[in-house]
């Protein structure tokens, strides 16, 4: 069965680093990938663009292809959204089909700070995407959790519905939303760091421009 993979993020804004990572992961894992913008809890720094604006940018970025699908369920839910709850919800929808959580290496390194993080392995596999400038060494408790779950053979993820960790060597692109927000604020264009769809409608990038 084709695995279902989830790629979450603030996507403030979604950029070529996200899209290429998701695309290459889809190819390597032969998976359907859902791109899931996160709602950011009130105690965290608010994204520059609103939830609705981030979802509009994502939809514009994904137009014209069907391998990466936008999924805005976390934005539609009231209150804080935890990945573990989203994964349980998806698990109920897909039965035994393999479910894969895609995480950039920086996000993966922060996993021990997530709500009920150990439970994530009961519900999904995790695929860690290499990211330039981020060490492949992880905190001890994460290395320990990984040791017994690590698989070298990507095809192994299809044999069970959850519980393994793989690392994906994707094309390294040193692009971050933080840097793009800085460029746009300075009146620069960031044209080729962003998907072309974001330039179709001037209102999409307006939240980042300085007027
Ligand atoms: P910011 O600079 O605002 O923190 P970001 O560019 O890191 O944003 P996020 O939306 O926070 O983007 O990231 C969502 C997911 O995408 C995370 O798992 C992150 O590790 C991954 N990711 C972001 N940029 C890249 C990249 N250039 N290469 C690989 N993975 C990436």
Tokens describing residue 38? 């996160």
Residue 29 — pLDDT band, cuts 50, 70, 90?
very high
Residue 38 predicted with pLDDT over 80: yes
Q: How much is the pLDDT for 28?
A: 98
> What are the pLDDT digits (tens) for 176-192?
999 999 999 999 999 99
Residue 90 predicted with pLDDT over 90: yes
Residue 79 predicted with pLDDT over 80: no
Residue 43 predicted with pLDDT over 80: no
Tokens describing residue 47? 């994204």
Decide whether any atom of ligand 1 lies within 6 Å of the 180 Cβ: no
When mean pLDDT is compared across 38-52, 93-107, 157-171, the lowest value belongs to: 38-52
Q: Taking the model in full, what pTM does it have?
A: 0.96
Beta bridge partners of 70: 35
Q: How much is the pLDDT for 27?
A: 98
Decide whether any atom of ligand 1 lies within 6 Å of the 13 Cβ: no
Number of alpha carbons in the 13 Å side-chain half-sphere of residue 78: 0
Mean pLDDT of the region 76-90: 90
The residue contributing the CA closest to ligand 1 atom 23 is 18
C-alpha distance from residue 39 to each of 10, 21, 107, 172, 186 (Å): 7, 21, 16, 27, 26
Name, in order, each residue with C-beta under 8 angstroms of 131's C-beta and a sequence gap of 6 or more.
17, 21, 104, 105, 106, 172
Residue 146 Cα to ligand 1 middle (Å): 21
Pocket test for ligand 1, best of 6, 7, 8, 10 (most atoms within 8 A of CB): 10
* Burial (0-12, 13-18, 19+ Cβ within 10 Å), 174: exposed
> What are the pLDDT digits (tens) for 118-143?
999 999 999 999 999 998 789 999 99
Residue 89 — pLDDT band, cuts 50, 70, 90?
very high
Q: How much is the pLDDT for 211?
A: 67
Cα 99 from Cα 90, distance rounded (Å): 8
Residue 12 Cα to ligand 1 middle (Å): 9
- Give the chain's domains with CATH numbers: 4-172 (3.40.50.620)
Cα 9 from Cα 40, distance rounded (Å): 10
């Amino acid at each position: 069965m084709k695995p279902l993979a989830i790629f979450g993020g603030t996507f403030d804004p979604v950029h070529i680093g996200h899209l290429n990572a998701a695309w290459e992961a889809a190819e390597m894992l032969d998976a359907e990938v859902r791109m899931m913008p996160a709602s950011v809890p009130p105690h965290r720094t608010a994204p520059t663009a609103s939830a609705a604006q981030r979802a509009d940018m994502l939809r514009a970025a994904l137009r014209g292809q069907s391998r990466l699908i936008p999924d805005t369920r976390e934005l539609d839910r009231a209150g804080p959204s935890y990945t573990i709850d989203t994964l349980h919800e998806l698990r109920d929808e897909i039965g035994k089909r393999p479910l894969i959580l895609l995480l950039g290496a920086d996000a993966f390194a922060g996993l021990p700070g997530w709500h009920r993080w150990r439970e994530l392995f009961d519900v999904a596999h995790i695929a860690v995407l290499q990211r330039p400038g981020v060490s492949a060494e992880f905190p001890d408790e994460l290395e320990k959790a990984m040791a017994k779950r690590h698989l070298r053979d990507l095809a192994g993820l299809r044999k069970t519905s959850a519980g393994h960790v793989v690392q994906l060597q994707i094309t390294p692109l040193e692009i971050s939303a933080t840097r793009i927000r800085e460029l746009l604020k300075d009146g620069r264009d960031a044209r080729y760091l962003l998907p072309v769809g974001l330039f179709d409608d001037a209102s999409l990038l307006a939240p980042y421009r300085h007027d």
